[in-house]
């Protein structure tokens, strides 16, 4: 019963996300509104972690499976993709590598810089 209860809460938040999607004219899906709502609900304590934890862990674990139907959809979109597939695949590979490298390097650089600043402040504080 516990899992059903947890699943019910998760579906309810998804439903609220769906309402926001219908109410706000932006190309933002119900799932992203739901993610934000769930985070806010957890932070404010409206939903307690133990009220969703097991079902959430299970759903995240089986998430890759949920992409199979869409990925198999390549079968249907292949005819429209065929004439431009070489530039498309090159662009996909190159930009994916670039985005991983840039995001990772930028974040790491900023973290290290911030840590260094903090250490220096501590050091200067110690001298005084």
Partner 1 sequence: MKSLLIDSMFFGAVISLTAYGIGLFLKKKFKLAVLNPLLIASLCVIAVLLLLNVEYKHYYESAKYISYLLTPATVCLAVPLYQQLELLKKNLKAIAGGITAGVLSSLLGVFLLAKLFSLTHEQYVTLLPKSITTAIGMGISAELGGIETITVAVIIVTGILGNMTAEFICKLCRIQEPVAKGLAIGTASHAIGTTKAMELGEIEGAMSSLAIAVAGLLTVLCASVFANLI
Which positions ≥6 away from 74 have C-beta within 8 Å? 81
Q: Kindly state the greatest CA–CA separation across the chain.
A: 71
CB neighbours (10 Å) of residue 62? 8
Cα(88)–Cα(94) distance, integer angstroms: 10
Q: How far is the CB of 2 from partner 1 (least distance, A)?
A: 15
Q: Identify which of residues 31 and 126 has a Cβ nearer to partner 1 in the complex.
A: 31
For the chain, the C-alpha Rg in angstroms (whole number) is 22
Ranges within 37-56 binding partner 1 (CB under 8 A) = 37-39, 42-43, 49, 52-53, 55-56
28 binds partner 1 (CB under 8 A): yes
Contacts (CB under 8 A) with partner 1, residues 67-86: 67-78, 80-81, 84
- Interface with partner 1 (CB under 8 A), residue from 19, 91, 119, 121: 91
């Amino acid at each position: 019963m516990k899992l059903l209860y947890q699943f019910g809460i998760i579906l309810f938040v998804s439903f609220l996300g769906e309402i926001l999607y219908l109410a706000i004219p932006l190309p933002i899906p119900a799932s992203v509104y739901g993610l934000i709502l769930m985070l806010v609900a957890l932070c404010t304590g409206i939903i307690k972690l133990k009220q969703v934890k097991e079902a959430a862990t299970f759903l995240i674990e089986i998430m890759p499976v949920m992409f199979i139907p869409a990925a198999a959809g390549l079968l249907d979109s292949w005819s429209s993709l065929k004439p431009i597939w070489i530039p498309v695949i090159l662009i996909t590979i190159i930009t994916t590598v670039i985005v991983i490298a840039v995001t990772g390097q930028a974040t790491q650089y900023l973290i290290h810089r911030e840590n260094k600043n903090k250490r220096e402040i501590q050091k200067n504080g110690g001298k005084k």
